[in-house]
Chain A
Amino acid sequence: MSKKSRSKLWFLVHSWLALPIWFFVLIVCVTGTLAVVSQEIVWLANPDIRASKPSDDAEPLSFDQVIAAIRRDEPKAIVRSIIRPDESHFALTVGLSYPDGRTVEAYANPYTGAIQGISPSFNFQQFTRALHGWWLVPFTNGYSWGWYLVSLLGLPLLASLVTGLVVYKRFWKGFLRPTLRIRHGARIFWGDFHRLSGIWSIWFIAVISITGTWFLIQAILGDNQISISSEPIVPVIARDKVPLSAPGVPAPMIALDEAIEIATQRIPGLDATFAFLPLNAYSHLQIGGRGWYPLMFQTAQLNPYNGEIAVSHLLSDRSTLEFVTESMRPLHTGDFGGLWIKLIWAFFGLVLSMMVLSGLLIWTKRTALATLNALKREAKVQRAPIAKLAETSEAHS
């Protein structure tokens, strides 16, 4: 095969990877971009989730102080969990259980503990994630087929990256001499745009396609009950470790702040940002947060009656393989280093969406041109006036 026809073949492969499913790929890219900054979008739209300081010198409350404030304001509500989001401009997310049976996320002010609102029944964050992640197809038995449908896109995306770089001869020169010709017609512009944004997104496309493919592997492993986790399975608290008490008097539990203290001593460098309260009388209290490696969480499960740590899951417990696999999700979502990383992810997500569109535009303009050329050839033979028409419309394209 000649060099020319081989590159033509690569070009065809590159075009065909996304073309027949361009709209699906586009929507997945756009919803993914939205999902990255969904928390920020809700922050803009809903004042309830903002952590407004009552005064300049206000100090954030401890978890126990927050629970006390909630008990004071809503004595009937039961706190199930408290999560301190990564960015300090967000309110605390508190899992609340109400006497009417609702279990909802509520937003508590980190400085006063006041419940500022409960999450609306339309949860934008969850909705964009569900649409992006599994196309809203419900999980009935194992992973939803929508999950497979979306995560399968990781493969053509990776192939697009590779074939794109093969087709784009000496692409590294594009870094030194960026070209974006604006005044040479749409076809030239979109071609330049596609190549320019492509080379600057190499790292991002690689990250998204590899992590996306991981989601596919994760589903395959999960649906076949194959586990690579080193996380210990936590048995319930033994009957004799739960103290008996007087009828109608629940056995006293240690304070949440004390539990955090114990967990922090056990896990050096732990920045405890969440607490899940026991799910029943024989269940542990879970404390967790990030450590030196921002992409993974460390947790400790404590007996809530005596503070004894039953199990902990530290960074050092993880196998090398787990460091890779557990890093996949944060790398995909850009949720591991605050607002700026999310904004970078969202920007490149937008660029990637535009690449799908520009790819499509290039193709349609090329086929339009090819059709016109074919018409021209035919017209020449038949001396029909269509050739002129074709020329003028080509000049406009």
Chain B
Amino acid sequence: MSKVAAVPASPLRAFWRKWRFHINVLLLLIPLGFMPKYFADAALFRGDTGLGERVAGQVQVGPWSLTLAEFRNEGPSPDPAGPMKFFNAALCDSCTEQVKATYLRIGKPRSLRAAGVIFFGTPYRMGAALPVPERTPADAELWVTMEGWDGTMHQGSIPLSQASPATIAWLNKQGVKP
């Protein structure tokens, strides 16, 4: 009955005119899409899913040892101070009271003063941000230094390739050949 369509409007145009101000409802897809990641991260930060995304293994450090894990199973993250790789660690059950401080470094430290970055946290779960220079050789060793309350020092190491294959992949991408 209607003769409104004196100016014939295409159905597409009519659809657009009707819904154009409601298309932004689709923005809700963004948080919906990120929700699984949000909850996975929340669990990771709480430690519900373990020490980190990938447990690298045990490192024997003199009489003591620790479990080393990659916080995220990926290469170093960009940082104003250079690329950083986050590791988490837990001390062995018997050494929680023994160890005063734990340090991490690429390459063997010459002394306690150059032991590298210090771990923050509790013996059950501590973290360190390790600077990874882009020229790091792919066969580098990751050295753990532990200091006792009386000042004694012990060292141990793990190949970087074992501690973080993702970092090796990242290094190879930077153009460093093994």
Contact = CB atoms under 8 A, between A and B. Distances in A.
Interface string A223-240: 001000000000010010
Contact of B124 (A19, A20, A100, A137): A100
A35 to B, nearest CB: 14
B27 to A, nearest CB: 5
Contacts of B152: 247
A236 B111 CA distance: 18
A352 B172 CA distance: 53
A141 B122 contact: no
B153 to A, nearest CB: 12
A386 interface: yes
Interface centre among B22, B50, B121, B152 (most CB of A within 10 A): B121
B21 interface: yes
Contact of B148 (A27, A247, A360, A379): A247
Given A78-B124, A140-B77, A280-B118, A386 B22 contact: no
Interface string A369-385: 00000010011001011
B114 interface: no
A102 B47 contact: yes
B101 A280 contact: yes
B128 to A, nearest CB: 10
B13 interface: no
Interface of B is mostly: mixed
Contacts of A98: 47, 124
A199 B176 CA distance: 64
Interface in B30-45: 30-31, 34-35, 37-39, 41-43, 45
Contacts of A97: 121-122, 124-125
A101 B151 contact: no
Interface of A: 19-24, 27, 78, 80, 97-104, 121-123, 126-127, 130-131, 135-138, 140-141, 146, 149, 225, 236, 239, 242, 244-251, 279-283, 360, 363, 375, 378-379, 382, 384-386
Given A121-B46, A141-B77, A251-B149, 19 more contacts: A20-B20, A24-B27, A24-B28, A97-B124, A100-B124, A103-B47, A103-B125, A121-B48, A126-B42, A138-B34, A138-B38, A244-B151, A246-B149, A248-B97, A248-B98, A279-B121, A282-B101, A378-B6, A379-B4
